[in-house]
Structure 1
């Protein structure tokens, strides 16, 4: 069994700051910000004290809604130091999703930036909590969100009703080292420390409860598979709110004393500039990000010779893209990771010494300390190599469960502790796995997991819609796109734009159907179940999409 780390997340940072005090920890070239591990730990301690002064206690849920700003990483460790639970909010969320998450998570505090892309966060939150601008900071009282009391703004010009992140830093000065040490002493490595929301087949997102032990070790072993050391420098263009950012990037780095060089909002040119300027040795991304970097008109202007490794994950890695990354970006040791939020997230990973063929045709073998098996969907029996079945995983990385959803937890974690992923896979005799399909009807668009049920539940609220089925169709750029087959109520007429317009501002843009088809009925099984795979096949034919376009 691989040797696991025994630190809490807060304790890990203390240890690394002691071991590599002068090493770069967090670097934002555009901001002129460069924290050494000693400085970074000092800032995290200061914010942890500020959280205590704010009245945040161990076990309180604290949400963050922001792109890759420095405060995100600081808050991740500051909250962990005092045992508060960081609830990560998808940057693409709109009002209905935000309200659901804040309510379901019982978050007492929300940290947020002003906006992201086309979404004005302040207006969106005010839509959910109209009384915010006329309420004294820290005294929110909304019957729909009974737990939410405080909103903290990250940035200049704090909106009415909110505190500013800098005030939390100042408040930290009123708390002694002894008080912080006392709070830290109560935190156990098996306490929930982060809650990430993943959509479910029930249609409503579920809060995945992850512990320090889950996250620190997953980050550590993922870093080990890339052969990270204190000399590595990782460019991070993937979002922190996903495990890809917070675990595969941040914790893979911190467990090895590696420098983190984030890109705040993905832009292929900024990634190239950052790698060249900071001599990054590693870079992460989903396939669409690597394609955008490789195809940028200024690609050849940047010296990427410092690169060595990184992770391409989030959806199927096209062979040609992986080969171009190796050849043109110098990523000779790039790896791929497979997993899901419920497993912190990594389950399998290719290794730096694996052949390019293995790295593109499989998702690797079990991470150290993880067990993987393929089981028969009907009987649950373990299958031999070469047979397709459901991929199940067990080990230190399996979540505690879904927040306040014991029945849903029991559906995915069996009595023996095996996590049932819902993914179909084949394992070879060396333990290398290929993902061959999905039992669940999940759509993966550009690395974002989309659960049809969630969009269906929302569209059912449209007064003209009688029934709707959401499914994925192949797309060369994103892997898959969302398609809706809509049955309109008798006597009503509807356009494709009406369907999309109804979603705008209410659900994340990436979930809005690209294709809408109006139908009279659906293909059914003899027992009356809708056959989504047939809807998909029909769409591929009608829209002249190729199954090989990345599906």
Structure 2
């Protein structure tokens, strides 16, 4: 086994490490953890790991990372936007980012101000992000699928001073919406569009780039040392799968180092990446945009939004050797491959994340997309998108049955409802501590304190099992747990079971109100093309294979699911749908 893939040191040895070691790795409160562990039970059996790093953390900003990349690979392509017919090298992105950054300063923006990017995957998204980082601004990515009220919520939530967006895209009039919202939000001073045509009341990005003189542009480079790596650079609005979004503030250091972890574990050195995931999401921000700056890799934007046909064709035509996608995206690409019989031969590796993955999906990716190396990434927005990752050459059984190995320089523990650490192999809530945890929810101390303790442990909300070898698996979201007649049921277990059926493509399971049992199980099932199953077939397939109380009482067959732009299924909308259809009783109001 290579040094990179060694299991973590056992806990008892870790507890003997000098406290200064923990301080160097951002584990400032290790002594309290040590004390708690000794007070509870035998150290060796507790689900606690402090994962050492094989390489030191990078102490730099996103803007400095771009500058270093431009020095190393000045003429290498950094961004290829096929749908816009644009190719930009690392040096071109840096040059344009500095011009745009200087222009933003010229119009009155100052270090620490909040700006937004509300757009599908345009190359200008990346330019705006890099310019904001170089200017010391905090950049919020906004879901391009949001409507006016949702967009206004984001603007008001963080006091946004400027917003970048296309004037329009397909049937959506972004400029009109932004101008309407500006009337209600006077602090929104600048609307900057990507388009060549001018819209009254807005500015064009190209004009902002031309505002500053040579001296002002050169000043941007000189100012980089004044931007703290520990300051915020990105605001992520949580995905909204359960309602109103929170504004997660992430630091330069978090993004730079989580991006480095990705680049090391999946071997991104000089790769060409088909980037299917949206740029505004943590997956796209960290693994898609920031990680290639560590390795000189090329970002290929296959379309404004994910299209499985375009994605498969892009991989073939551009000879992409890496692809990023959520589970649903991989499923859709397999459907295209099966339907058209296209030959994908260039892929070296694939990264999957953003939602739970069934073992069956890994097998299907290998079989139908001829991709032997498929690696997972697990985390949450509040942890800069990454807590665990696969290793490149790990056994397929580990890839298929876990969410990967704990990332370097992080502490993790699994606790029960009383915050006591459980033994390895037992389930509980996963908590993480280290450089990558969020600064906090913007202007929301109450919710920040609910998930981030005084000693900087972040509660993930995931029911998790941690093993001694450093790998772990997610049983499900604690808030998604179904309690049926006193039995605790996690939807992901049922979803994974049914996705092993050869006729079933995708399954989503929720709990719905029941007068007798408190909750019952409702399963939404998407079949493979041409397949036919009945409710009775679904019940019979599970009978004798899983406990009777895990077999769904309510079953619906569907062609698609309501999703966020990042590919996460919005289960709260599924629940609303079945209640509106009166297929299940609605829980009485208190």
Normalised by the length of structure 1, the TM-score is 0.78
- Quote the RMSD (CA, aligned, Å): 3.1
CA contact (8 A) 1:196 1:207 kept: yes
Q: Which whole-Å deviations, capped at 9, do the CAs of 1:263-305 have from their partners, x for residues lacking one?
A: 2211111111211122111001111111111111686564422
Q: 2:427 aligns with which of 371, 388, 394?
A: 388
Q: CA deviation at 1:385?
A: 1.1
Q: 1:432 aligns with which of 446, 471, 482?
A: 471
Mapping of residues 168-187 of structure 1, within 5 Å: 168-173=208-213, 176-187=216-227
| CA distance 1:471–1:277, shift in 2 (3 Å) | farther
| CA distance 1:55–1:183, shift in 2 (3 Å) | farther
Q: Which whole-Å deviations, capped at 9, do the CAs of 1:310-354 have from their partners, x for residues lacking one?
A: 211122212232112223323222111111110001001111212
Mapping of residues 518-533 of structure 1, within 5 Å: 518=582, 522=587
| CA distance 1:473–1:95, shift in 2 (3 Å) | farther
Output the CA distance in 2 between the equivalents of 1:477 and 1:222.
Answer: 32
* Residue of structure 2 in register with 1:93 after alignment: 146
Q: CA deviation at 1:368?
A: 1.1
Residue 109 (structure 1) aligned with residue 162 (structure 2): yes
Q: CA deviation at 1:173?
A: 4.1
Residue 71 (structure 1) aligned with residue 136 (structure 2): no
User: Which runs of 5 or more structure 2 residues have no equivalent in the other structure?
Assistant: 1-51, 482-490, 496-504, 512-517, 528-567
Instruction: Report the secondary structure of 1:336's partner residue.
Output: strand
CA contact (8 A) 2:61 2:252 kept: yes
Residue 221 (structure 1) aligned with residue 274 (structure 2): no
Instruction: Report the secondary structure of 2:164's partner residue.
Output: strand
CA contact (8 A) 1:92 1:509 kept: no
Q: CA deviation at 1:258?
A: 0.8
* Residue of structure 2 in register with 1:13 after alignment: 66
Output the CA distance in 1 between the equivalents of 2:464 and 2:445.
Answer: 27
Output the CA distance in 2 between the equivalents of 1:316 and 1:420.
Answer: 18
CA contact (8 A) 2:337 2:369 kept: no
CA contact (8 A) 1:288 1:477 kept: no
| CA distance 1:473–1:371, shift in 2 (3 Å) | farther
Q: 1:268 aligns with which of 308, 327, 336?
A: 308
Q: 2:97 aligns with which of 44, 49, 53?
A: 44
Output the CA distance in 1 between the equivalents of 2:401 and 2:84.
Answer: 40
Q: 2:322 aligns with which of 278, 282, 304?
A: 282
* Residue of structure 2 in register with 1:495 after alignment: none
Output the CA distance in 1 between the equivalents of 2:367 and 2:244.
Answer: 42
Instruction: Report the secondary structure of 1:294's partner residue.
Output: helix
CA contact (8 A) 1:340 1:346 kept: yes
Q: CA deviation at 1:200?
A: 7.5
Output the CA distance in 1 between the equivalents of 2:569 and 2:448.
Answer: 28
User: Which runs of 5 or more structure 1 residues have no equivalent in the other structure?
Assistant: 130-141, 453-468, 479-507, 529-551
Residue 347 (structure 1) aligned with residue 387 (structure 2): yes
Q: CA deviation at 1:202?
A: 9.7
| CA distance 1:113–1:323, shift in 2 (3 Å) | same
Output the CA distance in 2 between the equivalents of 1:181 and 1:520.
Answer: 62
* Residue of structure 2 in register with 1:489 after alignment: none
Residue 4 (structure 1) aligned with residue 44 (structure 2): no
Q: 1:34 aligns with which of 57, 62, 87?
A: 87
Output the CA distance in 1 between the equivalents of 2:317 and 2:217.
Answer: 37
Q: Relative contact order, CA 8 A, sep 6+: which one is greater?
A: 2
* Residue of structure 1 in register with 2:206 after alignment: 166
Q: CA deviation at 1:70?
A: 0.3
Normalised by the length of structure 2, the TM-score is 0.73
* Residue of structure 2 in register with 1:399 after alignment: 438
Q: How many residues align?
A: 463
Output the CA distance in 2 between the equivalents of 1:325 and 1:26.
Answer: 26
CA contact (8 A) 1:214 1:397 kept: yes
* Residue of structure 1 in register with 2:455 after alignment: 416
Output the CA distance in 2 between the equivalents of 1:411 and 1:304.
Answer: 46
* Residue of structure 1 in register with 2:409 after alignment: 369
Instruction: Report the secondary structure of 1:272's partner residue.
Output: helix
Q: CA deviation at 1:117?
A: 5.7
